[in-house]
Amino acid sequence: MIPRRSFLRTAGLGLTASLSAGARPASSQEPSAEKPFRKAIKIGMAPRNLPLVERFKLIKACGFEGVDMDSPNDLPLDEVLRAQEESGLIIHGCVCSTHWASPLSHPDPEVRAKTIAGMTTAMEDCKAYGGTTVLLVPAVVNAEISYADAYQRSQAEIRTLLPKAEETGVTIAFENVWNNFLLSPLEFARYIDEFESDRVGAYFDIGNVVRYGWPEHWVTALGDRIVKLDVKEYSREIMMDEGTGKGFNVPLGEGSVDWPAVRQALDSVGYRGWATAELRGGDADYLKDIAARMDRCFGMA
């Protein structure tokens, strides 16, 4: 495999070489020496009935430093920037909001074009917010879309996005999800390396691999290709008793993830940066509990 350059790890920390004027300085995303992981949540986990600025303030008050926004969205830019400024919450990245409905593996180029447009908007939004990554589900495999076609089509489409990624200074971060694609960490690593670009990497979801593997093995295999982490729990016992999807119905830190082993693996590959909870939403008490559980899982309590 092609050796990864050190930039890929620093992209996960928000240490891009430069950001254009108007973006939040990348240095604001550095973890501290005492705490190598910075806690964040997905914006959808905060109560949706609150104005954006109040949602941001609540997230901050519950113990999180950052948030991952959905994009494209219908939020005015000035409203987002005001919420960020008034709350002190960091928008560390965005999640593409079109990749499931219009996957880059779809046989119809017009369908794929919707996510190319969505990713373009998301990278522009991410730059404007001062973030460093856009999370992308790179492809979907199903009865109508073969694995080989998904691999070829998605890579071809993503290559068209690389100039925009270079222009914006934003890294395209592929998430491992239940999409029947990139089912091995070695294949995931190869898929990333074949782009020969420092503007792609892995947005590694810890809980998503427990169904068919061990997160710590994936971490060591992916190494410094990991630019950010999604955090969730999974129980193999519940999976066996109640079904695969039910395996997520377990509190963070009480399932099958071996968190000390995950921490050791992350340390071994030098990962320092954002860890973002991707769980169901809830009120302030619930979010505070998630923050406390993340501290325990990552050894920061």
Instruction: Give the chain's domains with CATH numbers.
Output: 7-297 (3.20.20.150)
Query: What is the predicted pLDDT for the residue at 28?
Result: 59
The stretch 160-171 carries a mean pLDDT of 98
Which residue carries 């030098």 as its tokens? 270
> Which band of pLDDT confidence, cut at 50, 70 and 90, is reported for residue 298?
very high
pLDDT tens-place string over residues 104-151:
999 999 999 999 999 999 999 999 999 999 999 999 999 999 999 999
The proportion of the chain whose per-residue pLDDT surpasses 70, expressed as a percent, equals: 89
Query: What is the predicted pLDDT for the residue at 35?
Result: 78
At how many degrees (to 10) do helices 215-222 and 185-193 cross?
Answer: 30
pLDDT tens-place string over residues 17-63:
333 333 443 445 776 666 789 999 999 999 999 999 999 999 999 99
Q: What is the pTM of this model?
A: 0.90
Query: What is the predicted pLDDT for the residue at 5?
Result: 41
The stretch 159-181 carries a mean pLDDT of 98
233/166 Cα distance (integer angstroms): 34
pLDDT tens-place string over residues 83-106:
999 999 999 999 999 999 999 999
Q: Decide if pLDDT at 2 tops 60.
A: no
Query: What is the predicted pLDDT for the residue at 171?
Result: 98
Alpha-carbon distance values, 127 to 20, 21, 44, 70, 294 (Å)? 8, 10, 20, 13, 27
